[in-house]
Amino acid sequence: MDTKSRILETALALYNEQGIQSVTSRHIAAEMGISPGNLHYHFRHTDDIIVALYEALSAQMDALVFEMERIENARPEALLDFAEHTFPVVFKYRFIFLHFPEIGLRVPSVKKQYTELVKRRQKEFLSFFKAWQEKGIFRKDVPPQILQTLVTQIFLAGDYWLSHNELTARLKGKEAARAYRQVFAGLFWPYLTEKGRKKFSR
């Protein structure tokens, strides 16, 4: 594998283990057994490594959304499946989710990109719910602003389940996935109609 990719790989491992604060370009180079000069030949600035890793995460998330939209999406399980598919990606790039505010301060462009992404996603999710209402899967007697809070709740869970787990039960791998899948399910289960609930339970 070429050096540039190895730098990204090593940096990801170190950032995930130790956070971004205590991992320096020298540490990454030492871990790989290359010189600092060589590392900075491939990435002029240390922050460029973080940007590259964020872009990799972003691309993988986009791919998942694309996949979700490609297949049938007019089922409540679609959203749950999507959430579940994101778990390994979130875990792979966990330092980004755990240390996002620090990253945002160091690399403002990342913060800006992310806020724009969230805006788009929120609209998408809201339109999912409305489509489900049309199909009689979702309750129609839910006021719009309540539906809006549901979107917020989903984003809170999606972005911070990892941080929460880190500070509480510290579940590992499959167990964590099961627990937080349940949390997601619990979020919109109350809003399903009888019909939707039948489709949903399995």
Partner DNA sequence: AATTGATTAGTACATTTGTTCTAAATCGAA
Partner DNA sequence: TTCGATTTAGAACAAATGTACTAATCAATT
Positions 80 through 139 that interact with a second copy (CB under 8 A) = 98-102, 104-106, 111, 114-115, 118-119, 122
Instruction: Confirm or reject binding of residue 37 to DNA (CB under 7 A).
Output: yes
Structure-token match 């940096």, residue found:
11
Instruction: Confirm or reject binding of residue 1 to DNA (CB under 7 A).
Output: no
Instruction: Confirm or reject binding of residue 22 to DNA (CB under 7 A).
Output: yes
Instruction: Confirm or reject binding of residue 111 to DNA (CB under 7 A).
Output: no
Instruction: Say how many C-beta atoms besides its own lie within 10 A of residue 17's C-beta.
Output: 11
Report DSSP state, residue 191. Answer: G
Instruction: Say how many C-beta atoms besides its own lie within 10 A of residue 37's C-beta.
Output: 8
Q: Which of 163, 171, 177, 199 binds a second copy (CB under 8 A)?
A: 163
Closer CB to a second copy, 73 or 86, in the complex? 86
Label residues 113-150 b or e (16+ Cβ within 10 Å = b). Answer: ebeeeeeebeeebeebbeebbeeebbbeeeeeeebeeb
Instruction: Confirm or reject binding of residue 102 to DNA (CB under 7 A).
Output: no
**Cβ 14 to DNA, closest distance in Å?**
12
Q: How is residue 67 written in tokens?
A: 């996949």
- Torsions phi, psi for 172 (to 5 deg): -110, 145
Number of residues that bind DNA (CB under 7 A): 19
**Cβ 21 to a second copy, closest distance in Å?**
6
Closer CB to DNA, 7 or 98, in the complex? 7
Q: Which of 18, 19, 26, 123 binds DNA (CB under 7 A)?
A: 26
Q: How is residue 55 written in tokens?
A: 């872009």
- Torsions phi, psi for 99 (to 5 deg): -120, 30
Closest CA to 158 of 83, 77, 65, 82: 83
Contacting positions for a second copy (CB under 8 A): 18-19, 21-22, 98-102, 104-106, 111, 114-115, 118-119, 122, 145-146, 149-150, 152-153, 155-157, 159-161, 163-164, 166-168, 182-183, 185-187, 189-191
